[in-house]
């Protein structure tokens, strides 16, 4: 490896260390912030009841973190654009963690008819739902959008260097699906009239089921541009 | 090293960084959460009284962390299964830390006849013991079970690549012992009638003494499959 | 790489890991410390109103962190001076984070006429402004000054080893601009009489606009010493 | 590098990452724990008054951390003894941080006649001093003793491999000085009668001035065994 290459590697490695550390902190925020330390078995059981929501948040955050790991596979150099977008991803992750936890703590609390505890309760009805889904959708769209931009940047760099851009462009397509869905869900939540019947408020939530569209989008991409990784 | 090998190494390294960071956080949770900062020598002494329980928890967590370090020795590649199981191990560690601390703070508090302080007191008698031992045993079994699965995955990969699988299979056998004991202890705690005499509630705790079985299990494995590391 | 070179690399890498970790913590302090976890949508909205100030602080801290990354590009060896200055940078960053957040939370609170919330309110009028700008300016000058010293150290080392010192000296020049401006802003804040009219208290703040001088300073440096990186 | 060597390097690197991360956390504990976030300029000034004590603690912790970095220079392999002693060092650092901060916050509070604030006040007179100096001295001796043992382990390994053991033995000698002084200071504090006059309670503190003995100890070592590093 040339000296330049080695120095580039050190810089890219430090950015990765920063991103990895910040994502690990974000998980800790879920734990520290969730509630006080249990000092009786009752409180321990209460805390254990929060595990399903913690699990969903944990793997959500890990999913976006893994997106950044996959991006590094496509773009090994330390570029200015890559650095700013990576920092932006960390920034959004630190903001995303709170609405994420509220949505799933509320969801499991509701699904279990209150048996799974939640610090957070939807007291304000429709107005609360609108706020929550709008925040969640926007944060989701920002994170997925940042990853889309990261892969787009990797594709442009690979193209300029004369390498195969197919892998990076496919990943870009994959991440654009959650970005669009998050944005659409937030818009639906903001546009639904507050007087809409209760079941309609499940609509912005069910829109995330459209994530299954990632499969067909990738298939179509592969049919059009070939199968090479 | 080929370019592919180097990229694999970067991905494996980032997963390790994530796991190491998260385990280090878990230790900090023990400290931050334990009590407020001492602002008088009385409170300092109180905090110092918590050192035995902190020490046991610290080395428990370090023990499972070292299990993951040993696993990396057997499986250097970045695999999807390895990633998910590693994240699962971090997830269980973050949950395990609270029942772990409660069990040992209570134990040292009891053994020292209250001289070693504890934020946590067993007020509810038998029902409390049942909850505590069941949570502890299940969390213990989940962590050891995840490590068993990690080594099983390493053995399968080594087998497919035509390498020696003996080391990974031996480690898998080693970790399956605490997994089974944790599960058995949790079951005993759940099945003991609440009216059982007090001394019987020590039973789920004493079952962890069976960890000495790791020695004979390894010896038997070595007699059967040979000594090679 | 020789064995000595490899060992130097390990030590430099550990210092980097320490610095990266500490900067990532500093960001978390902004989050944890800012306010309690939102447990209702009202509090979530309140927290989201703090995003502009968080964003500015986040990218400020990231800017100084990136200064250290750039320094490593110029000085790959583990030197005693480099180690002490790096630790000093971390030390200042941990202190800087609080006045930084107060300045920008107060600024956005003021600019939005109170719509963007702030835990911090300027109740004491001119005396408050003086304290805040003096602390902020001094902390800013300390951090930029430490980076100036780091690049000066890198330039001296490169010069002694017979390498090109131009890059390190240019960076030193760049960082000396914010160091001087921070110091000047703190001095103006300390010397302004408390009876000065309100608009004059904006002066120490507007002095940071002089950061645009970095451009001309670099151009003049390039004209004098050539363009080579 | 051979494959074995590379695997050893990965394990040693993960232990280093764990140690570096844990030391960085320990610094954060000083910050988080010190006091609540300032939300007025008065509280900001109060917090800034705590900077001298924070600075001393920061560089104390960094000093012990650097001891571990220097140890890695002497012992590159991942050994079981090295791992346990490193974990022990982290364990002691996490305990040491509280008495360390209390001693220096109290000291600066006293020296500045109360102008530098402290959450901690010596209300109990001589009994308080005894507790504080005994805890501080023991923690100090434990950390320096662990580093002495680490360098002793490195020297034994180097000796067995036929390498030069001089460097490791010199470092061992250096670290044994603070270990002995910490222990002696704790003993003096414990043995002083509570009725001793006030000025005598400064004795355990002034004993740390004996750290200057490191210089002569190293000189004598060099005279006896030669100068080679």
Cβ neighbors of A80 (< 8 A, separation 6 or more) are none
The answer to whether the CB atoms of D39 and C119 lie below 8 A apart is yes
Start-end of H helices in C112-229: 126-160, 166-191, 203-206, 214-225
What is residue C6's predicted lDDT score, i.e. its pLDDT? 64
Chains that touch B (3 or more CB pairs under 8 A): A, D
Nearest to C190 by CA among C145, C107, C127, C144: C127
Highest mean pLDDT among A38-52, C167-181, D22-36, D141-155: D141-155
Question: Which tokens go with D154?
Answer: 């490195």
What is residue D192's predicted lDDT score, i.e. its pLDDT? 85
Question: Which tokens go with B51?
Answer: 């050192």
A122 vs C contacts (CB less than 8 Å): 41
Rounded to whole angstroms, the Cα distance separating D164 from D160 reads: 10
Indicate whether B1 pLDDT > 50. no
What is residue D1's predicted lDDT score, i.e. its pLDDT? 41
Highest mean pLDDT among A141-155, B215-229, D25-39: A141-155
**b (16+ CB within 10 A) / e for A126-157:** bebbbbbbbbbbbbbbbbbbbbbbbbbbbbeb
Kindly list the residues of chain D whose beta carbon comes within 8 Å of any beta carbon in chain C. Answer: 13, 16-17, 20-21, 23-25, 27-28, 31-32, 37-42, 44-45, 47-48, 51, 54-55, 58-59, 62, 65-66, 69, 72-73, 76
pLDDT in tens, D185-214: 999 988 888 887 777 777 888 888 778 778
What is residue D59's predicted lDDT score, i.e. its pLDDT? 87
Cβ neighbours around B225 below 10 Å, total: 13
Q: By mean pLDDT, which of A107-121, C166-180, D67-81 is the weakest?
A: A107-121
CB C144 within 8 A of CB C175: yes
> Mean pLDDT, chain B, as a whole number?
81
D18 vs B contacts (CB less than 8 Å): 20, 23-24, 65
Start-end of H helices in D35-49: 41-49
What is residue D149's predicted lDDT score, i.e. its pLDDT? 94
pLDDT in tens, C140-151: 899 999 999 999
B102 vs A contacts (CB less than 8 Å): 38, 41, 44
What is residue A2's predicted lDDT score, i.e. its pLDDT? 52
> Mean pLDDT, chain C, as a whole number?
81
Rounded to whole angstroms, the Cα distance separating D180 from D217 reads: 13
Q: What is the nearest CA distance from B32 to chain A, expressed in angstroms?
A: 9
Average pLDDT of span C16-45: 73
pLDDT in tens, A6-56: 666 777 888 888 888 888 877 777 765 545 566 677 777 777 788 888 888
User: Which is more confidently placed, B197 or B137?
Assistant: B137
Cα dihedral C13/C27/A100/A151 (nearest 10): -50
CB D203 within 8 A of CB D192: yes
Question: Which tokens go with A223?
Answer: 């049919």
- Choose among C24, C37, C44: nearest Cβ to A22: C24
Highest mean pLDDT among A121-130, C2-11, C53-62, C120-129: C53-62
What is residue A119's predicted lDDT score, i.e. its pLDDT? 60
**b (16+ CB within 10 A) / e for C211-220:** eeebeeeeee
Q: What is the nearest CA distance from B27 to chain D, expressed in angstroms?
A: 8
What is residue D180's predicted lDDT score, i.e. its pLDDT? 92
What is residue B86's predicted lDDT score, i.e. its pLDDT? 92
Instruction: Give the position of tokens 């005396």.
Output: C127
The answer to whether the CB atoms of D135 and B44 lie below 8 A apart is yes
Kindly list the residues of chain D whose beta carbon comes within 8 Å of any beta carbon in chain B. Answer: 7, 10-11, 14-15, 17-18, 21-22, 25, 28-29, 32-34, 83, 87, 90-91, 94-95, 98-99, 102, 119-124, 127-128, 131-132, 135
In degrees and rounded to multiples of 5, residue A192 shows phi and psi of -60, 130
Cβ neighbours around C1 below 10 Å, total: 11
- Choose among D7, D21, D131: nearest Cβ to B44: D131
Indicate whether B8 pLDDT > 70. no
Q: What percent of chain B has pLDDT over 70?
A: 86
Q: What is the nearest CA distance from A99 to chain B, expressed in angstroms?
A: 20
What is residue B150's predicted lDDT score, i.e. its pLDDT? 93
User: Which is more confidently placed, B92 or C167?
Assistant: B92
Q: What is the nearest CA distance from C79 to chain D, expressed in angstroms?
A: 12
What is residue C46's predicted lDDT score, i.e. its pLDDT? 76
What is residue C124's predicted lDDT score, i.e. its pLDDT? 61
Indicate whether B123 pLDDT > 70. no
What is residue A40's predicted lDDT score, i.e. its pLDDT? 75
C103 to chain D: closest CA residue:
D41
Kindly list the residues of chain A whose beta carbon comes within 8 Å of any beta carbon in chain C. Answer: 7, 10-11, 14-15, 17-18, 21-22, 25, 28-29, 32-34, 83, 87, 90-91, 94-95, 98-99, 102, 119-124, 127-128, 131-132, 135
What is residue B34's predicted lDDT score, i.e. its pLDDT? 47
Q: What is the nearest CA distance from C67 to chain D, expressed in angstroms?
A: 20
Query: Dihedral of CA A160/A165/A168/A171: which sign?
Result: positive
C14 vs D contacts (CB less than 8 Å): 16, 20, 69, 72
Please give the C-alpha separations between residue A70 and each of A151, B13, B72, C47, in angstroms, as whole numbers: 9, 13, 20, 31
What is residue C1's predicted lDDT score, i.e. its pLDDT? 41
The answer to whether the CB atoms of B127 and A41 lie below 8 A apart is yes
Q: By mean pLDDT, which of B39-43, B171-175, C5-9, C166-170 is the weakest?
A: C5-9
pLDDT in tens, B130-149: 888 888 899 889 999 999 99
What is residue B2's predicted lDDT score, i.e. its pLDDT? 52
What is residue D121's predicted lDDT score, i.e. its pLDDT? 61
Highest mean pLDDT among C77-86, C120-129, D34-43, D83-92: D83-92
Chains that touch D (3 or more CB pairs under 8 A): B, C
Q: What is the nearest CA distance from A19 to chain B, expressed in angstroms?
A: 10
Q: What percent of chain D has pLDDT over 70?
A: 86
The answer to whether the CB atoms of A25 and C28 lie below 8 A apart is yes
Indicate whether C229 pLDDT > 50. no
Predicted confidence band at D17 (pLDDT cuts at 50, 70, 90)? confident
Indicate whether D35 pLDDT > 60. no
Average pLDDT of span C156-171: 85
pLDDT in tens, C176-201: 999 999 999 999 988 888 887 777 77
What is residue B64's predicted lDDT score, i.e. its pLDDT? 92
Q: By mean pLDDT, which of C9-13, C82-86, D134-138 is the weakest?
A: C9-13
B28 vs A contacts (CB less than 8 Å): 28
């Amino acid at each position: 490896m040339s000296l330049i290459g080695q120095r580039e590697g050190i810089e890219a490695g430090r950015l990765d260390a920063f991103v990895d550390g910040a994502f690990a902190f974000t998980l800790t925020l879920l734990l520290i912030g969730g509630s006080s330390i249990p000092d009786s078995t009752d409180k321990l059981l209460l805390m254990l009841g929060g595990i399903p929501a913690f699990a969903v948040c944990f793997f959500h955050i890990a999913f976006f973190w893994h997106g950044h790991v996959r991006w590094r596979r496509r773009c090994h150099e330390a570029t200015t654009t890559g650095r700013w977008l990576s920092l932006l991803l960390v920034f959004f992750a630190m903001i995303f963690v709170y609405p994420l936890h509220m949505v799933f703590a509320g969801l499991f609390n509701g699904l279990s008819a209150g048996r799974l505890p939640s610090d957070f309760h939807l007291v304000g009805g429709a107005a609360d739902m609108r706020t929550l889904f709008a925040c969640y959708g926007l944060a989701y769209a920002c994170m997925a959008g940042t990853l889309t931009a990261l892969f787009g940047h990797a594709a442009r760099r690979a193209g300029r260097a004369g390498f195969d851009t197919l892998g990076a462009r496919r990943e870009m397509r994959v991440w654009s699906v959650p970005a669009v869905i998050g944005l659409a869900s937030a818009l639906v939540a903001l546009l639904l009239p507050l007087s809409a019947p209760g079941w309609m408020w499940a609509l912005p939530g069910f829109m995330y089921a459209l994530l299954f569209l990632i499969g067909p989008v990738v298939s179509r991409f592969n049919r059009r541009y070939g199968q090479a990784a």
